Chain A
Amino acid sequence: MAGLVYRTGFIFTILGNMVYIVVSYFLWRSIYQNLTTIHGLTFNDTFIYVALGSAIFILLKTYADWGIGYEIREGMIAVYLTKPVDYEFYSLFSSLGGMLTNLAAISFPTIVLLIMVFRVSFSIGPGLFLFPFSLLIAFLISFFFDYMIGIMAFYTESIWGLSITKEIIISVLSGVLIPLQYYPLAIQKILFVLPFQAIYYSPLMMITRPNQGWETLLSMLFVQLLWAVILFTLSRVLYHQAVKVLRISGG
Chain B
Amino acid sequence: MLTLGEYLRLYFIIEAQYIKARMQYRADFMISSIGMFFSSLATLGIFWVLFNSIPSLAGWSFIEMVFIYAFYMIAISPMQILFDHIWQIRFEVQQGTFLKYYFRPLNMMFYYMSEMFDIKGLTQLAAGIILLIYASVQLGIHWSPIRIGLLLITLFGAALVLISITVTAGCAAFWITNAYPVLGLAWKLREFAPYPMSIYDGAFRFAFTYILPIGFIAYYPAQVFLRPEQISPLVYLSPFVGVALFLLTYWVWTKGVNSYSGTGS
State whether B184 touches A19 (Cβ < 8 A): no
Identify which of B49-57, B135-143, B236-244 touches chain A.
B49-57
Within 8 A of B (CB), among A146-199: 156-158, 160-162, 164-165, 167-168, 171-172, 177-178, 182-184
Identify which of B70-78, B97-105, B187-195 touches chain A.
B187-195
- Count of chain B residues near A, Cβ 8 A: 39
Identify which of A7-15, A70-78, A209-217, A218-226 touches chain B.
A7-15
Given known pairs A8-B176, A26-B200, A30-B58, the reply for A16 and B184 (CB within 8 Å) is: yes
Chain B positions within 8 Å of A38 at CB level: 53-54
State whether B52 touches A182 (Cβ < 8 A): yes
Chain B positions within 8 Å of A19 at CB level: 185, 188-189, 192
Minimum CB–CB distance for B145 against chain A, Å: 36
Cβ of A237 < 8 Å from any Cβ of B?
no
Cβ of A89 < 8 Å from any Cβ of B?
no
Nearest B residue to A39 via CB reads: B53
Chain B positions within 8 Å of A8 at CB level: 176-178
Minimum CB–CB distance for A58 against chain B, Å: 10
Given known pairs A26-B200, A26-B201, the reply for A16 and B181 (CB within 8 Å) is: yes
Chain A positions within 8 Å of B35 at CB level: 160-162, 164-165, 168
Interface membership of chain A positions 125-139, coded 1 if the CB is closer than 8 angstroms to chain B and 0 otherwise:
000000000000000
Cβ of B204 < 8 Å from any Cβ of A?
yes
Complex CA distance for A165 and B198, rounded to whole angstroms = 32
Nearest B residue to A23 via CB reads: B192
Chain A positions within 8 Å of B195 at CB level: 23, 27
Q: Is the interface of B mostly helix, strand, loop or mixed?
A: helix
State whether A165 touches B38 (Cβ < 8 A): yes
Using C-beta atoms within 8 Å of the partner chain, give the interface range for chain A.
35 or more
Chain A positions within 8 Å of B53 at CB level: 38-39, 182
Cβ of A90 < 8 Å from any Cβ of B?
no
Complex CA distance for A71 and B76, rounded to whole angstroms = 32
Given known pairs A158-B32, A178-B46, the reply for A168 and B38 (CB within 8 Å) is: yes
Cβ of B42 < 8 Å from any Cβ of A?
yes
Cβ of B134 < 8 Å from any Cβ of A?
no
Tally inter-chain residue pairs, CB-CB below 8 A: 106
State whether B199 touches A27 (Cβ < 8 A): yes
Minimum CB–CB distance for B167 against chain A, Å: 16
State whether B181 touches A12 (Cβ < 8 A): yes
Complex CA distance for A6 and B178, rounded to whole angstroms = 7
Nearest B residue to A184 via CB reads: B52
Residue from A6, A20, A161, A183 in contact with B32 in the complex, judged by beta carbons closer than 8 Å: A161
Minimum CB–CB distance for B25 against chain A, Å: 8
State whether A172 touches B45 (Cβ < 8 A): yes
State whether A30 touches B57 (Cβ < 8 A): yes
Cβ of B119 < 8 Å from any Cβ of A?
no
Minimum CB–CB distance for B90 against chain A, Å: 10
Chain B positions within 8 Å of A112 at CB level: none
Cβ of B21 < 8 Å from any Cβ of A?
no
Q: Which has the most chain A C-beta neighbours within 10 Å: B180, B181, B182?
A: B181
Minimum CB–CB distance for B168 against chain A, Å: 13
Within 8 A of A (CB), among B146-180: 176-180
Complex CA distance for A109 and B45, rounded to whole angstroms = 30
Chain A positions within 8 Å of B28 at CB level: 156-158, 160-161
Q: List the 8 closest A-B pairs by CB distance, nearest first.
A: A161-B31, A12-B181, A9-B178, A30-B199, A158-B28, A161-B35, A164-B35, A9-B181
Chain A positions near chain B (C-beta within 8 angstroms):
5-13, 15-16, 19-20, 22-23, 26-27, 29-31, 38-39, 156-158, 160-162, 164-165, 167-168, 171-172, 177-178, 182-184
Jot down 16 A-B pairs with beta carbons below 8 A, ordered by A.
A9-B181, A10-B181, A12-B181, A19-B185, A19-B189, A19-B192, A20-B188, A30-B198, A30-B199, A31-B54, A31-B57, A157-B27, A161-B35, A164-B35, A172-B45, A182-B50
10 additional contacts (CB under 8 A) given A161-B35, A164-B35: A8-B176, A26-B201, A30-B199, A31-B50, A31-B54, A165-B31, A165-B35, A168-B42, A172-B46, A178-B49
